[in-house]
């Protein structure tokens, strides 16, 4: 089972026929389920013993499903997997150097920029630090009589972007008991920097509307986003002048740390053939399969060997920065992804909309992260 999209379905059907051809007598039965219904169908089916042998989970959900005892460690060479997969993609999938799933559907955070706007303004270098990012955004932004006509930079209060900024300051996020570890000057600085794009520098305006529409209409010069947005932009605006760079570092010489999100293929605890299930998962996440997956779907690979893959770069030169970003990627820092995306968005809105101080909103955010862990993670176990 996996969550539905037309591109994913086509690829899995192709891989299934390939795997069957290589393994006579094996039949892959594939079911694609809309994401809105996926989890509500999955766990009851597993509990009833009618679930799939192999299925997808969000990476952050793997620890809980292990505790539910509905998945099991894979029958693979674990030491080899540790070397061959991007570390940021398997943080939630490994326990005691043992894999409970292999990573797929990888997305990092990168900087999209409008090359035409850069050229018109004489901007010759893509910003590489926080200071440069703001300087460039201020050059791009167009405001007249308090009305924003073009935004310089946007994050949309999107969780992986805000956590990217916080991670770049060096903070940790949460311990194994759910205690917030980002209640420190570093965590606060990253959070405040995100707020400042809106409240201090005025290069992003939440009232401007969709940042995606703004970028398509060349009313936004730079936006932090997942690499998969390249396909989305080109589908609607094929001539849009796009450049992609790695995210700006905190300071010159610092790593281009960014937050990675991904799914994983796992094996059911109830499968009758763990060896076959593991081989199917390895096939789906092989370098050959991931190369084709990236070309056809826009999802990044999780294999280290593909970071500098010439075939991928020849197919799409703009993949250079997204592929390079994998080297500096860290796992999404919380298990409860959707809830923590909402929490950080709400925290920023408390400052930019409700008028709270940064200190008040940040303290609420610290407490909310612990509350989410108690109510979502602990209560589900």
Distance CA 375, CA 155 (A): 28
Looking at 326, 341, 359, which one is the last position of a domain?
326
Q: Is residue 298 part of a domain?
A: yes
- 208, 123: one domain: yes
Whether the CB-CB separation of 302 and 290 falls below 8 Å is answered with: yes
Name the burial class of residue 253, with classes exposed (0-12), middle (13-18) and buried (19+) by CB atoms within 10 angstroms of its CB. Answer: exposed
Distance CA 235, CA 111 (A): 19
Whether the CB-CB separation of 120 and 112 falls below 8 Å is answered with: no
- 115, 237: one domain: yes
- The pLDDT, as a whole number, for residue 380 is 67
Q: Model confidence over 196-205: pLDDT tens digits?
A: 999 999 999 9
Query: How many angstroms separate the Cα of 43 from the Cα of each of 1, 65, 82, 299?
Result: 12, 9, 28, 26
Give CA 127 to chain center in angstroms: 22
**pTM score, whole prediction:** 0.95
Name the nearest CA neighbour of 137 among 248, 34, 212: 248
CATH number of the domain enclosing 209:
3.40.190.10
- The pLDDT, as a whole number, for residue 379 is 77
- 208, 305: one domain: no
Q: Model confidence over 73-103: pLDDT tens digits?
A: 999 999 999 999 999 999 999 999 999 999 9
- The pLDDT, as a whole number, for residue 297 is 87
**Residue span of the structural domain in which 315 resides:** 2-106+262-326
pLDDT 10s digit of each residue in the chain, 381 long? 998 778 788 899 999 999 999 999 999 999 999 999 999 999 899 988 889 999 999 999 999 999 999 999 999 999 999 999 999 999 999 999 999 999 999 999 999 999 999 999 999 999 999 999 999 999 999 999 989 999 999 999 999 999 999 999 999 999 999 999 999 999 999 999 999 999 999 999 999 999 999 999 999 999 999 999 999 999 999 999 999 999 999 999 999 999 999 999 999 999 999 999 999 999 999 999 999 999 988 899 999 999 999 999 999 999 999 999 999 999 999 999 999 999 999 999 999 999 999 999 999 999 999 999 999 998 765
Q: Which two tokens stand for residue 142?
A: 């167009």
- 114, 190: one domain: yes
Q: Looking at the 3D structure of the chain, how many domains does it have?
A: 2
Q: Which two tokens stand for residue 73?
A: 């460690």
- 244, 122: one domain: yes
- 63, 117: one domain: no
Whether the CB-CB separation of 201 and 137 falls below 8 Å is answered with: yes
- 46, 139: one domain: no
Q: Is residue 268 part of a domain?
A: yes
- 59, 157: one domain: no
- The pLDDT, as a whole number, for residue 9 is 87
Q: Give Rg (Cα) of the chain.
A: 21
How many CA within 13 A on the CB side of residue 251?
2
Distance CA 298, CA 143 (A): 35
- 247, 314: one domain: no
Residues, the chain, total?
381
Q: Is residue 231 part of a domain?
A: yes
Distance CA 265, CA 267 (A): 7
- 125, 232: one domain: yes
Looking at 309, 326, 343, which one is the last position of a domain?
326
Q: Is residue 302 part of a domain?
A: yes
Name the nearest CA neighbour of 28 among 265, 276, 220, 295: 276
CB under 8 A, 24+ apart: contacts of 228-235? 228/107, 228/297, 228/298, 228/299, 229/112, 230/112, 230/298, 230/316, 230/318, 231/298, 233/112
Whether the CB-CB separation of 266 and 65 falls below 8 Å is answered with: yes
Distance CA 181, CA 170 (A): 11
DSSP 25: T
- 251, 266: one domain: no
Looking at 276, 305, 326, which one is the last position of a domain?
326
Helical H segments across the chain, by residue range: 6-22, 35-47, 62-67, 78-84, 115-120, 130-140, 159-168, 185-199, 211-216, 229-236, 274-284, 287-297, 310-315, 320-325, 337-352, 358-372
């Amino acid at each position: 089972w996996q969550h539905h999209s037309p591109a994913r379905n086509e690829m899995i059907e192709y891989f299934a026929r390939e795997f069957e051809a290589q393994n006579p007598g094996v039949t892959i039965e594939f079911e694609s389920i809309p994401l809105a219904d996926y989890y509500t169908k999955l766990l009851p089916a597993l509990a009833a013993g009618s679930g799939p042998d192999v299925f997808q989970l969000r990476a952050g959900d793997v620890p809980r499903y292990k505790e539910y005892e509905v998945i099991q460690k894979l029958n693979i060479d674990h030491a080899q997997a540790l070397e061959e997969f991007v570390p940021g993609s398997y943080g939630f999938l490994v326990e005691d150097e043992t894999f409970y799933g292999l990573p797929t559907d990888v997305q990092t955070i990168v900087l999209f920029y409008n090359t035409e706007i850069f050229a018109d303004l004489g901007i010759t270098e893509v910003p590489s630090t926080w200071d440069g990012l703001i300087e460039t955004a201020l050059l791009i932004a167009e405001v007249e009589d308090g009305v924003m006509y073009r935004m310089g930079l946007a994050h949309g209060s999107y969780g992986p972007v805000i956590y990217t900024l916080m991670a770049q300051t060096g903070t940790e996020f949460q311990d194994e008991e759910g205690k917030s570890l980002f209640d420190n000057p570093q965590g606060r600085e990253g959070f405040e920097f995100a707020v400042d794009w809106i409240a201090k520098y005025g290069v992003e305006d939440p009232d401007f509307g969709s940042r995606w529409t703004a970028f398509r209409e060349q009313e936004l010069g730079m936006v932090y986003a997942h690499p998969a947005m390249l396909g989305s932009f080109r589908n609607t605006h094929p001539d849009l002048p796009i450049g992609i760079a790695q995210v700006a570092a905190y300071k010159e010489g610092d790593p281009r740390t960014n937050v990675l999100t991904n799914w994983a293929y796992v094996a059911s605890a109830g499968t009758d053939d763990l060896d076959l299930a593991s081989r199917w998962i390895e096939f789906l996440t092989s370098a050959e399969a991931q190369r084709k997956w990236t070309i056809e779907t826009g999802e990044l690979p999780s294999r280290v060997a593909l970071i500098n893959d010439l075939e991928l770069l020849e197919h799409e030169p703009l993949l250079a920065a997204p592929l390079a970003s994998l080297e500096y990627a860290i796992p999404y820092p919380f298990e409860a992804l959707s809830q923590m995306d909402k929490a950080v968005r709400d925290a920023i809105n408390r400052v930019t909309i409700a008028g709270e101080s940064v200190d008040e909103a940040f303290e609420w955010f610290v407490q909310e992260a612990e509350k989410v862990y108690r109510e979502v993670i602990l209560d589900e176990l």
